Structure formats: C-alpha cells, structure tokens
Amino acid sequence: MIDAQAKRSGAEPIYFGKLPDELETCYNSILSALKKVDILVTTGGVSVGDYDLMPEVYKRLRAEVLFNKVAMRPGSVTTVAALEGKLLFGLSGNPSASYVGFELFVRPILKRMLYSENLFLKVVSAKLAVDFPKANPFTRFIRGRLFFEKGEVLAGPAGMDKSNIVLSLAITDTLIILPGSTRAFQKGDWVKVLLLEDNEGSQILWE
C-alpha cells in the first residue's frame, strides 16, 4: 500500500522487507537502509508496547525526534525524526492509520523534494451524506467518496471506517475531515474534504 502511495506521489520506492521484533536487527537494518534512500518510511513499532522498538532505534541512531504523537484519528502515534539531513517517518502499524499518515505527512515532503509548488492535497467542501453520532476530541479523517445527488456534492464513508478494515481503501477517493469536537456531526453538515485522486494539489493546507 505504501509502495503504491509513494509511486502516486512521484517517488521511486525501495521495499526493504518485514523486520522481526528484535532491537538489534531493526537497528542494523534501518541503519543500512538509510544509506540507500533520501527519506525512510517505516510502519509499526512507534507506540509504547513491549515490541514497539522504534523509539529506542531513534535513540540509538541519535536521530532528533521532531514529534511522536498527533491529535488525530487514525494515526495518532505518527512519529517523525531527522538524522543527517534525512527524515524518518514512523507510521502506525495499523494499515488505515499508516495510509492517512502517509498522505498528510510524507506526501508533502516528497512533493517538495520533487520541486512541486502544490505540496498539499486539494480541499473542497461537501455536505455529509450520513450522521457521525460519536463526538471525538481529536480530528478524524474518514475514508470516503464524493458523489452528486440533487445538484449537491455529498461525501460519505467508502465503507466501514474501523481502523482494522482496509478493504474500503480500495474505493476511497477522499478523506473527510471531522474537526475535533464535543458534538456529533449530522447528515447535511458542511465539511472539508481532501481529494486523494487529484493531480493538481494545492499550495496551502486546509483551514
């Protein structure tokens, strides 16, 4: 999935394979990989569990951790570190969270490295097609699709939006932004929507 996202962004990805949950193996493999790439993207191991080894890997590398948590869902454990002019993106091991993390954090950096003026995903406004009854203090990014109905642009979920369900990513063309709130969102509310399949992009981040 990340390989495909990188290609869509204009990069030439190199896949280094899956690593076991062993500190020495992870450290040595990442140290070796850094010599072959301009930026490094890893998935998993960035939280606080017994097998989440990336914080210790960053420490051993003497990388500067720029941030290690974001107030968003999914992808709150996204981590970004810097080492000798290179960025290391530690995305969540959850597929939907890593998908969102790539689009929001990795893609703009790739676009900058490719000298694009439009670094960010284009944003449009649309009306919600369904209710989102559960309030969340974090900004939520819903995998969605745009469609037209009675002359209006609507945005609705591409499928079940649970973090462990990835099938809906195959038909997702937008990320619906639900700002952190203490209230629920209702059908008909206006929301911002990020266009994933748009090739033009935008010079500014959404407000």
- First vs last C-alpha separation in the chain: 28
- In a domain? residue 170: yes
3-state DSSP: the chain helix, strand, coil percent, rounded to 5? Answer: 25, 30, 45
Instruction: Clarify whether residues 96 and 51 are in a common domain.
Output: yes
Tell me the C-alpha distance between 157 and 161, whole Å: 7
pLDDT at 156: 95
pLDDT at 205 over 90: no
pTM of the predicted model, to two decimals? 0.93
Within a domain: 203: no
Which one of 81, 113, 145 terminates a domain? 113
Q: Is residue 79 part of a domain?
A: yes
**42 and 97 assigned to the same domain:** yes
pLDDT recorded at residue 179: 93
Total structural domains in the chain?
Answer: 2
Say whether both 84 and 8 belong to one domain: yes
* Cα 114 from chain centroid (whole Å): 19
At 206 the pLDDT is: 78
Residue 89 and residue 26 share a domain: yes
- The CATH number of the domain holding residue 68 is 3.40.980.10
**Position 207 in a domain:** no
Query: Which pLDDT band, with edges at 50, 70 and 90, does 80 fall under?
Result: very high
Is there a domain that residue 102 lies in? Answer: yes
pLDDT tens digit string along 1-47? 999 999 999 999 999 999 999 999 999 999 999 999 999 999 998 88
Q: In this structure, which amino acid lies at residue 148? A: F
pLDDT in tens, 100-111: 999 999 999 999
* pLDDT tens-digit readout, 138-184: 999 999 999 998 889 999 999 887 777 788 888 999 999 999 987 89
Domain that residue 46 falls in: 2-113
- Identify the DSSP state of 22: -
Does residue 141 share a domain with residue 83? no
Mark whether 94 and 145 lie in a shared domain: no
30 and 94 inside one domain = yes
Residue 131 and residue 185 in contact, taking contact as beta carbons nearer than 8 Å: yes
